[in-house]
Amino acid sequence: MSQFTASDPGVDVVVQDLLEAVKDALGENFFGLYLYGSLATGGFVPSRSDIDFLVISRTGLTEAEIERLEEAHQRLWNSGSKWAAKLEGKYLPLEQLKRNDPAAPPVPTVNEGQYYLDREGVDWVFQRHVLIEHETIVEGPSLKPYIDPVSTRDLQTAIGELLEGWWAPMLANPKRLTSPGYPAYAVLSMCRALYLLEFGTIASKEQASSWVKSSQPSKWASLITGAFQWEEGDPDGPLDETRAFIEYTVERGREVLGQV
């Protein structure tokens, strides 16, 4: 277990601001605030990483609590802090934490500067794994007793679903790949997918990309190196190479999942 301490003071400030705002909005219903993503697994880069958070409530949220949380996030966004815009996460009741259930009721979600109700995606299989294996607590008890173990098979099946459902359609319709910053995100996500398929566990972007460059076909090396160098806001990543790398990863996923 790791009690959260930020390497960047600005991150620490916004996380503490979030904690105070959430506790004020939820009162006795607040159970805990936790971090996942690169702040938990390592490799947090201030220029491009998000501040991924999970808030657990003791019971399901009332309409009044949902509204107060939205108001809290609006205040954070209006504070002028650049870090507030990087907050991304969910609000789950404790009873919904045990395992990933896409059919569970939608919950408050914060993503790309928006607050809305949404169900859990398949990616929350990965987040639960991180919450267990890289537990990072801002405030609250350990979540390990409340989450079912996430197996290697669970992780590989989830990445297969994500590759087929999210990434494979971009081969025919690559519009999203022309969005600023998205080519780099796609390339590094493929590195992490390949690593997960091979080893059955989650690695940071840096660890996964280093392994891919040393073990996979050499033609991907320059693309991966470039992904770390492309500036945010520059949409001119090599589209054809990125699509080819996605296709390679999708096919690798089909091979691995056909074998296990």
| Per-domain boundaries in the chain | 2-146, 152-259
pLDDT tens profile 176-220: 998 888 899 999 999 999 999 999 999 998 999 999 999 998 899
pTM, entire model: 0.90
Q: Are 126 and 202 in contact (CB under 8 A)?
A: yes
pLDDT tens profile 24-48: 999 999 999 999 999 998 888 887 7
Q: Provide the sign of the torsion angle of the four alpha carbons 206, 244, 256, 101, taken in this order.
A: positive
Number of neighbours of residue 66 by Cβ within 10 angstroms: 17
Cβ-proximal residues to 32 (8 Å cutoff; 6+ apart), any chain = 55, 56, 137, 138, 139, 140, 141, 143
* Residue range 108-112: mean pLDDT, rounded: 96
Fold classification of 2-146 is Beta Polymerase; domain 2 (3.30.460)
